[in-house]
Structure 1
Amino acid sequence: MDSMTDLYSQHQAVQLTQDQLGGKAANLLWLSLEQYPVPEWWVVPSDTLTQIVTQDPVIADMVQRLTTVTADITLEDLDKLAAPLRQQIQQASLPEDLRKQLSLLLADYPDTFFSVRSSAIGEDADNASFAGQMDSYLFQQGLDAISASVCAVMASAFNTRALQYRLHRGLSVENIRCAVIIQKMVDGEVSGVMFTAHPVTGSRQHGLISAAWGVGEGVVSGECDTDEFSVHLFNDEIERRIVEKRVALVFDKTNQRGTVAQDIDQANQWAETLTDAQIYALRNIGNRIARHCGCPQDIEWTIKDQQLYILQTRPITRLPKVASPVDRNLVFNNANIQESYCGVTTPLTFSFASATYATVYEQTMRILGCSDKQVSQSQDMLDNMLGLIKGRVYYNINNWYRGLLMLPSFKTNKQDMERMMGLTDQVDFIQSREFTLWEKAAKLPGMAKALVRLLAAFRNMDKNVEQFLQQFSSLTANIPRDRLHTLTANQLTEQLKYLDTHLLQRWTTPILNDFYVMMYNGRVYRTLEAAGVEKTAALMGDLLSGEEDIESTQPTKELLVMCQYVRSKPELRKLIEQGQGTTLLNQLKTRDVHFHQQCINYIDKYGDRTIGEMKLETLTLRYDSRFLFTILKNYLTLDDLTPESLAARERGLRTEAENRAFSAVEQKLGNRRMRSFKRHLSKLRQAIRHRENMRFTRTRMIGLYRDLFNQLGRQYALEGILSQARDIFYLTLNEIYSGYEGTAVQTQLKPLVESRRQEYASYEAEDLAHHFYCQGSLFQQHDFAYPHQVEETSSDINQLHGIGCYPGIVETTVRLIKSPEDKMSLSGQILCTERTDPGWAPLFPTAGGLLIERGSTLSHSAVVAREMGIPAIVGIPNITRLLRNGEYVRMDGGAGTVMRLEQVEKDACAEEERRPEDALL
């Protein structure tokens, strides 16, 4: 059989190439060679269609026109091109040699019916099945009928739906090649499809069998209702879904060719199509096929006279994520970290933050006495303390708990950490394991060493903080901040690595102080609970208010001093109130040199402290001074807002709270516990003061990194490596360093940046939960939904609840601020936002109160609100989605409640309408 137009039997088909066989015939060949029960078959190689297309000039011209279409062509326009082409191919004559081969074949099987099916190149492949896209012809007999069917099948390679499928999958419509399978027809009593992985649940341990009476075309086309059997691949578990089956697709005896829908007799309509033995036989043969192929399979089968036949197999091209995996469950929460990394965060910021956490906590482990082996075993935990979900930064709670397991008293530390991080959702599947006596003895030396070192660090905390601050000032003085533009790209990268080595690798004091805050906050809280104090969280807030010398409030106080100067200068005040923020700084050079210098001094000292200050891509006051003048305009609207009035507010209810707490502890727990409580409270206050002050050094450090990255971006833009300087924020830290070290796997950065820019822009419109579980890889399908959703998502909710941080009842309108671009004038309105960071602090004095959707009693917004004596509530679920801008509410900072007064009034009116008889009284 040397001719390219010969008919090949299943035994001869091994001579053909993959391109000659097409996908379906290649799979049939493999099944036959592996001795699976496949009905005998023959194949017309794809060269036949190629010959017809190339030798007929009319057909060749039609095909050429098809190659110009694009994926956005309409179905109607595509059909106008494809329909005449199909008609020409159907009317074409088969090559004479092929007709002779068919005639010889049919002479050997005079009374046999055949099926005629397509086998296009790429059909039934791993990435494209073409299932149902091309035509099949069943129960064909005789030379003329089969010849016509062969032409019709080849023509169906140009079906409109098949062409559209190709275009949408990015497959070429040029040089379409299609072989044709001729196979002995099995007049199946029951037929169907088996998936060796479950197409609905995604389970790789379950198969799904769909079965109907008659031949399988009724299942594939959807014409016949099917029973479904979900069968476990490795045990005898079967789940059934039996339906009423009214019709079957069977041989059309009237026309003696093709199929017809036939009514099923009453007795079989609800009868199960398969017995358990047949289900297991299908399951077993499907398992074998999938195991040989190395991937889940979509298998067509039929049963005749108790004999199972495999008609074809193809790889499953799409499966959902497993619905309920049990092997892995990650917990992500951003209740606290969102203060630092609000909204969508760029790849550079996340990769920098993740590397920073790994570096700092590795140092902490070493300080606590962990060996090199312990650090090495914990490296995956250290490298993954944060997660990035659709551009948002989250804590990977699993790894934080793993870290706590290294310390004594996991259960207590777990509760303390959850309280400090604002974790209102308990994670119960991570527990402190009960160790055997031998295991306890083995762990005891390490635990004891960690405890001793931790206590030593706590004992020397004041001294360590002072040394840390001095060291920070000394090291950062070595960065030539005003001369960065004169450095080369290599020199800028070396400056980055200098900061990595000399700052990040010496950042243990802030982390140890965080442990200090966590533990003493837990001790104070538990003592208040033991004393039976009501509204413990609110009283905690009062006790922690009124601290002096906290760096978080210093920018606000300095701005108030500047504001006093502006009030004394009417012309300057008018300029600030009416001027444009983008030009004010330059105008001040000629209008008021003294105040211009005050602004320059403020920017030099606090220029890195702004909304979103932890994000490297943020434009701080050093790059855009508008926020400075926005705050000054706010302050000027309140003439009684002065440094003195702020100081008076800061004193607040601290003394009253102390009297209440000390009295309760002493009466319920005794004088000794009261003295211990006072000592713990004092240590907690000092630790919080240290934390806020060291946070400002963190802000300044990020500012230095930001300047270096901006300058490096400028260098890359000048050289054409990036399109613009700020594109650098779409690279990761490792990508930047790998270019310097000579290990970069991609050096064409512009297309990489552009794809990421588009991806991250798409995340802006998405709204993710603050807490969710994630099973499997982030590349898989997830809804990132809050697993403990409550009913407080309805816009009809009248009262909202959160954590009261500072008492006071405020009744006024809400100013909803979701981003720095929103209008920020408050003038006594209640500031409502999703999250805050230290850069928000200057806004607070002009707010009548604070309503923050995320956060805890120790989050920045709570700390600063207490220092300024501003009624505040944090941790109010969904408040930014429930309240409208300008809505009138009453907030109670002590009780942690928000009453929607407009909503209450509306509900009352609705109630009156529902009860007209009451209205008449």
Structure 2
Amino acid sequence: MLKSQDDRRGTESTAEPLIMKFQDITAEMLPLVGGKAANLGVLTRAGFPVPPGVCVTTRAYRRVTATAGLEEVLGALAGAAPDDSAALAGLAARARALVLAAPVPEDVAAAVREGAAAAGGPVAVRSSATAEDLPDASFAGQQDTYLNVTGPEAVLEAVRRCWASLWTDRAVAYRAANGVDHRAVHLAVVVQRMVEAEVAGVMFTANPVTGRRRETVIDAAPGLGEAVVSGAVTPDRFVVGPGGKITERRPGDKPVAVRPLPGGGTTQVPGARDDTVCLEDAQVLALAELGARVEAHYGAPQDTEWAIDGSGRPWLTQARPITTLYPPPPPTADDPRVYFCGSLAQGLQRPITPMGLSAFQAMIPSAAGLYGLDPASVRRPATPGMRLFVDVTAALRHPLGRAVLPRMLDVMEARSAVVLRGVAADPRFGVVRRSPLPAVLRLVRLALAHRVPGRVAQALARPEAAARHIAAAGERLRRRLALPGGATAAQRLDHVERCLRSGIVPVIPSIVPGPVAGFLMLGLAARLLRGRTRPGELQTVLRGLPNNVTTEMDLELWRAARRIRADEASVRALAGAIPPPEPLPPVLREELGAFLARYGHRAVAEIDLGLPRWSEDPAHVLGVLANYLRLDDPALAPDTQFARGAREAEAMAARLARRAGPVRGAVVRFALGRARALAGYREMPKYNLIVAFAGLRAHLAAVGRELAAAGTIGAPDDVFMLGLDEARAALAGADQRELVARRRAEYERELRRRHVPRVLLSDGTEPEAVGTAPPAEGALTGTPASPGAVTGVARVVLDPVGARLAPGEILVAPSTDPGWTPLFLTAGGLVMEMGGANSHGAVVAREYGIPAVVGVPGATARISTGDTITVDGTGGAVTLA
């Protein structure tokens, strides 16, 4: 290991050297060497072909910046809003200037010169931040790199500029967007022997767009890899499948190549403009085999950079985790499997707490038994990414399931229905059970056991009977939730498990006959009106539905806001910070209390038992009240709009009945009337589930208080970062504080995830991201780079300096390097003329979750600012309206 002069003299701690050779660096040294150097050290020690080099450690950066005067800037950054790009850019410029002006201590300068000499010959000087190449954020290209640097003084100057690049606009904006503390990040610098590459590029050992594991994606171009990662060219693209077969070979547009200059630095020279590719098949397969070994060493798919020198030898110049891949479900012995994201279908983008996931897992046996299945034979939901994924493979392989499931989703989560219909066409998920009879018989037995047909008929005859049955079911559920006072924590936990396993699900069949009757009548009306309706008319009949508990709740809150508006003190309280400081004015306190007494069991993301209810934290309710007070137009008042919707629905029902004729019209009139009277009850199954969750949460909160007092968890709320079994272990004395800390860190990371797949295959493939449909006629085509579709207003930007992008606008650019990425914070989508799916711009687009298509010839000329365009990041097409 190289040591600086004062290290050798022993005047400072030798535990943190200024310079380290790659072979002396381990993965645990990330705080000292940063992400890039840590990975290069791991690769070197494992025997992979890595050009030799050294790392100027973060100790050097800390020495230089200790006297730079950054404290004021750091304080201002801590208070800046993540989306205030102008403020962030101004503070970043101040920080850069301070770092560049800071003197470099002589011992640090000597150590850098020594490292440059040890590398031998021209070097690449590359930033290596402590928040970089991490499992949940790549920080791809956010700091600077200098290629083909020659001479000790030039290396020292490049190192200084790398230190300052920790404070580029893009790096500061990226950290702010990802919730990374600016104070906690330091910069090391890699000084690595240059590879005079004949061809170079990037390689992903899993497909970063589709999520398909064991599929290697290689982008390549002649010369140095900078042309590929910066998006200066559309590279040649190769895909190697699991069997070691090249499944895609597509030449790119490579108008330039980046080459080293004899005296240092690089230049762009004209590149090939024909359809030849720059890699032979043998080289492609050798790179894929190298990538597979790197992935096996790390145990996870990797994003690598590589170069092939004049002798044909391949080198690895970087490896880092592919941060945008969604975690796959746990492997099973009978792959492939299809998983449907149930939490996303409920409108829940965010992760679910471990206790919330555990609650759903506990209810599965009860649901299976209710349907007549052996609970032991039913697959429990998978929880990759702390979301709830239901295994629907058996349903898709069953004739009844593949008919019913997508139709149910048509009215619940239409896009998932489209995806599942596409998956059903995959031969791997073909029908294996021909007869639907067993499933039908189970449904019939379930319906008869709970008297569903009779109650449906009763609801149709007398809708008020449905209301009585639903109220009675809710009352039975509340009685089951009750527990005598003075119960111990163990008794409470037993009670929670008992309710989840057998007390909640059996109540649901008593609730569903009412809404089922309503939707049966809507279906009957649709059949009778076939050919007589225009699009949207039947949906109009469902406006302003009565008996919808969620609508009733919203209207009750609006009425509370109207009463609050008459009280000046309450209005003033809600005009300031939310929640307002205590004590609340009497009128506001009374109205809030009355609302919470009836609806305090509800919450945002309420299907997660682990999240606080409004009765625990009413900040959201107070915020809604404050917004209601800003509503001045009487025509936009919720009760006015609801009444208007109800009138329009009644008028449409009457119009459709007249259109059906005298006899058929009478049936239509009856059917639509019953649909309106009963369909609103569709919210009641979920509503009662939320009532149950609120009651069980109160018991678990008491368990948490006892566990915190015993010291097995740190705070009462930590109980919700455990599953039921883990909470029981804590009651038995197991210290769960470390587990809670890991879970909280994972939960915080998942909160920042911007993309959650609707459907996921067991190999990690996202079917929705596999573009199969041909582009629309006249569409501009390119390479899919970030899945999803968005329609918005285009903003053509040729230079990012001073450019502004309104939220939701689609950025159209010739190419993007990392300097452009602050614009991605507000972009709704990205279109690039150049670049590949593995360029920096594409990587960051995937991390930000915005659809992107790259390599679109002539995009900036064929699209104008203000055009409405649709970007299909799955199929690789851009369509002008």
Aligned length: 648
Contact 2:340 2:391 in 1 (8 A): no
- Distance, in Å, in 1 between the alignment partners of 2:657 and 2:23 is 85
User: 1:501 is matched by which residue type in structure 2?
Assistant: R
2:695 matched to which residue of 1?
704
Deviations 1:327-380 (A, max 9, x none): 999886989834xx7x968626753674477456434533xxx4568x53xx25
- Distance, in Å, in 2 between the alignment partners of 1:663 and 1:690 is 27
1:498 matched to which residue of 2?
498
Contact 1:413 1:519 in 2 (8 A): no
**Higher RCO (C-alpha under 8 Å, 6+ residues apart):** 2
Shift of 1:446: 1.7
- Distance, in Å, in 1 between the alignment partners of 2:598 and 2:322 is 56
Q: Secondary structure at the match of 2:198?
A: strand
Q: Secondary structure at the match of 1:317?
A: strand
1:445 matched to which residue of 2?
437
User: 1:211 is matched by which residue type in structure 2?
Assistant: P
Q: Secondary structure at the match of 1:516?
A: helix
| Aligned 1:321-720 pairs, distance under 5 A | 321=324, 337-338=346-347, 347=353, 350-351=356-357, 354-355=360-361, 358=364, 361-366=367-372, 370=373, 375-376=377-378, 379=379, 382-383=381-382, 403=395, 408=400, 411=403, 414-415=406-407, 417-419=409-411, 421=412, 423=414, 427=418, 430=421, 442-453=434-445, 456=448, 458-461=452-455, 473-474=475-476, 476-477=478-479, 483=485, 486-509=486-509, 513=513, 516=516, 520=520, 523-527=523-527, 529-530=529-530, 532-534=532-534, 536-537=537-538, 540-541=541-542, 608=601, 616=609, 617-620=611-614, 659-667=654-662, 671=664, 675=667, 684=675, 688=679, 691=682, 697-719=688-710
Shift of 1:499: 2.0
User: 2:216 is matched by which residue type in structure 1?
Assistant: Q
Q: Secondary structure at the match of 1:497?
A: helix
Contact 1:79 1:160 in 2 (8 A): no
Distance 1:83 1:527, change over 3 A: farther
1:243 matched to which residue of 2?
255
Distance 1:439 1:405, change over 3 A: closer
Distance 1:309 1:365, change over 3 A: same
Q: Secondary structure at the match of 1:541?
A: coil
User: 1:708 is matched by which residue type in structure 2?
Assistant: H
Contact 1:232 1:238 in 2 (8 A): no
- Distance, in Å, in 2 between the alignment partners of 1:579 and 1:694 is 36
Deviations 1:553-608 (A, max 9, x none): 98899999999xx99xxxx99999999999999989xxxxxx99x99999777664
| Aligned 1:901-912 pairs, distance under 5 A | none
Distance 1:337 1:510, change over 3 A: farther
5+ residue gaps, structure 1, are: 1-15, 54-60, 99-113, 139-148, 251-257, 390-394, 589-594, 638-644, 798-921
1:810 matched to which residue of 2?
none
Deviations 1:736-794 (A, max 9, x none): 4553578x79433674576478668x76xx9x79997889589xx99998635367999
Distance 1:249 1:698, change over 3 A: closer
Distance 1:523 1:360, change over 3 A: farther
- Distance, in Å, in 2 between the alignment partners of 1:209 and 1:248 is 17
2:221 matched to which residue of 1?
210
- Distance, in Å, in 1 between the alignment partners of 2:723 and 2:319 is 35
Contact 2:400 2:439 in 1 (8 A): yes
2:104 matched to which residue of 1?
81
| Aligned 1:170-319 pairs, distance under 5 A | 191-197=198-204, 205-212=216-223, 229-233=236-240, 234-235=245-246, 237-243=249-255, 249-250=261-262, 279-280=280-281, 282-291=283-292, 293=294, 294=296, 298-303=305-310, 308-310=311-313, 312-317=315-320
| Aligned 1:726-745 pairs, distance under 5 A | 726=717, 728-729=719-720, 735-737=726-728, 739-740=730-731
Deviations 1:361-408 (A, max 9, x none): 434533xxx4568x53xx25x456x9877xxxxx97x86797587574
Q: Secondary structure at the match of 1:191?
A: strand
Deviations 1:597-636 (A, max 9, x none): x9999977766468876665445458879979x99x99xx
User: 1:209 is matched by which residue type in structure 2?
Assistant: A
Q: Secondary structure at the match of 1:430?
A: helix
Shift of 1:509: 0.9
Aligned residues with identical type, % of pairs: 10
5+ residue gaps, structure 2, are: 1-20, 27-36, 75-94, 168-181, 329-335, 459-464, 575-579, 633-639, 770-783, 796-804, 809-881
Shift of 1:459: 1.0
- Distance, in Å, in 1 between the alignment partners of 2:806 and 2:42 is 59
Contact 1:28 1:312 in 2 (8 A): no
2:854 matched to which residue of 1?
none
Distance 1:406 1:688, change over 3 A: farther
Shift of 1:430: 1.2
Shift of 1:493: 1.5
Contact 1:211 1:226 in 2 (8 A): no
Contact 1:192 1:219 in 2 (8 A): no
Name the Cα RMSD after superposition: 7.5
Contact 1:585 1:625 in 2 (8 A): no
Distance 1:76 1:523, change over 3 A: closer
Distance 1:156 1:475, change over 3 A: same
